[in-house]
Structure 1
Amino acid sequence: MGVTTGWTMKLRRFVEARLSPEGELGLHMTVGVALMLVAIVVFHEIAEAVMGMAQITVIDLQVAHWFNQHAVPWITSCLLVVTHLHGVLGAITLATLLGWYLQRKGATYWLFTLVITMPGVMFLNLLLKYIFVRARPSFDEPLLQTALSTYSFPSGHTATSTALYGLLAAYLICQTAPGAWGKRIAIALGAFLMASLVGFSRIYLGAHYLSDVLAAMAESYGWLAICIAGVSTLRRRRHIRQTK
């Protein structure tokens, strides 16, 4: 009975520590790991469906060819601008500007998060492309004339933009007043819509399938969650050591 009570107390203390907003391995790390695990499950389900040629691949083809056949010139022009602004060079430029902004604000830990998040998500995306080796969509009259030399799954443009806008949103949300939920929701929604716009541009222009974009968003959110949680843990650990 005493052993059972001892284990119960230890389990209770462990759970309380994981849910504490103050501890170095508290609520922030618990939420980060939980979000990462959810993202991994979502990515796995999409990848398994794609590789197994499930119903989603049929939807992929239908969506891709519908946009190719119903393209509107002015929309195509706008989405070409969006997609080119979020290519490799564009992503590096935007990340550099965000880094400059964070440095100006003295947000050292957020800057460090940016430094590990962006190169990390680019490398992870490239690795996944060569694991799944999925061919790009093919059309008789493609909207995007630029040669695409890499594989399709998951979308690199979507992954990097999701990480970039997600990180910016996380920083801005942390700077808002605790009770300003309307503003926080607006920031999160804005970041999601920007990443979705980039993903939509890739589908519309025929560079990627719908499942490529969905998988990229899941991949990127999972990576971003663990990066933010990891750096937050580092910051809290240093703070605790300095106050002892």
Structure 2
Amino acid sequence: MEALDLRADQLASAVGARPLLLLALLLAGTVGVLLGLVAVARLSERHARALWARAARAYSAAAEHPVTQRLSIRFPAVARVLRELSAAEYLVIHLALGLVLTLAALVFVALAEAVSGGASIVQVDLALARALHASSSSAGVTALRAFTYLGSGWALTVLAIVVAAVLLKRRQRVLAVGWLIALAGSGLLNRALKALFARPRPLFDEPLAVAMGWSFPSGHSMGTFVTFGMLSYLAILFLRTLRARVAFVAFALGWTVAMGFSRIYLGVHYLSDVLAGFAAGGVWLAVCVSGIEVARRRPSRIDGRPPAG
């Protein structure tokens, strides 16, 4: 175990000594995974349709079961929501979002326990932070200081107002409200988590940047993940072609990864802070999108028009 920890420290020091290469690998890996998932989905589309039809029939049979009928009488509000969703919609949206939420929550809990317990991830954090700090350049610091400001609370607030105004102009009130709740809730949740774990930020004799507050999880990373996750959700609803949707999601992923990298490079967060920010953002994003999808299928109470997308 000690040898494994030592190799992890050495690897972190090695990649931290080449920050541009590290960023390029992160971006290429993230976009590559996205394109791979799209390719696999397209290749397996025929089999997925057959599986989907079986799952839809199973859902319909379960909905007509006497036990389900009795539960529907006992819990009419839940039954009403489920009736407004088709079987395919329920399976695609809510099971997928439930899987994302579960995985993200497990990752966050694992990171929190590792950081709190002083596991090997802490040594990796320190090794990577020191290597990036030692290999930093004035040009890189200047560029990433400007870039990281785009993930600040002020910048995301301006973006939230602009997007909400556009959605309201298009009479998409449910989406506008859901968008604002997602971004505002992300900020509040991040503050609560920071106060709960109270992890000090990295310390250097000559810091490249200074940030206030606690370190775990990264607010920039979590806020950017939720913001660009919601933008990707809106893009999937409103963009017409698969190519345009994939291109936007790839851009959103690249932007989010770069934002997390900027926080580590500037020495205001550890690697585990950024990963935890992404994980916590994934949990909150899944909850928000699931809630919006339920609300969009009750248009008569808010919009009085069919849902978009």
Structure with max Cα Rg: 2
Pick 1 or 2: higher relative contact order, CA cutoff 8 A, min separation 6. 1
Please indicate the TM-score interval, normalised by the length of the shorter structure. Answer: 0.7 to 0.9
Say whether 1:83 aligns with 2:132: no
User: In the alignment, what sits opposite 2:62?
Assistant: 13
TM-score (norm: length of structure 1)? 0.85
User: In the alignment, what sits opposite 1:168?
Assistant: 231
How far apart are 1:77 and its partner, in Å?
0.6
User: In the alignment, what sits opposite 2:12?
Assistant: none
How far apart are 1:51 and its partner, in Å?
1.2
Per-residue displacement from partner, 1:75-108 (whole Å, max 9, x unpaired)? 1111001112221212211211222222233322
User: In the alignment, what sits opposite 1:3?
Assistant: none
Q: Which runs of 5+ in 1 are unaligned?
A: 1-8
Per-residue displacement from partner, 1:110-131 (whole Å, max 9, x unpaired)? 2111111011111111111111
How far apart are 1:14 and its partner, in Å?
5.1
User: In the alignment, what sits opposite 1:141?
Assistant: 206
Change in Cα spacing, 1:49 to 1:191, as seen in structure 2 (3 Å) is same
Deviates more, 1:104-113 or 1:115-124: 104-113
| Cα distance in structure 2, aligned partners of 1:171 and 1:33 | 19
Within 5 Å, which residues of 2 pair with 1:68-147? 68-144=133-209, 146=210
| Cα distance in structure 1, aligned partners of 2:59 and 2:228 | 40
Q: Which runs of 5+ in 2 are unaligned?
A: 1-57, 65-81
User: CA contact under 8 A between 2:218 and 2:269: conserved in structure 1?
Assistant: yes
Letter in 1 for 2:126: L
User: CA contact under 8 A between 1:49 and 1:55: conserved in structure 2?
Assistant: yes
User: CA contact under 8 A between 1:159 and 1:220: conserved in structure 2?
Assistant: yes
User: CA contact under 8 A between 2:59 and 2:87: conserved in structure 1?
Assistant: no
Letter in 1 for 2:87: S
Match of 1:187 among 248, 270, 273: 248
TM-score (norm: length of structure 2)? 0.68
Letter in 2 for 1:68: H
Aligned length: 228
| Cα distance in structure 2, aligned partners of 1:35 and 1:154 | 19
User: In the alignment, what sits opposite 1:204?
Assistant: 265
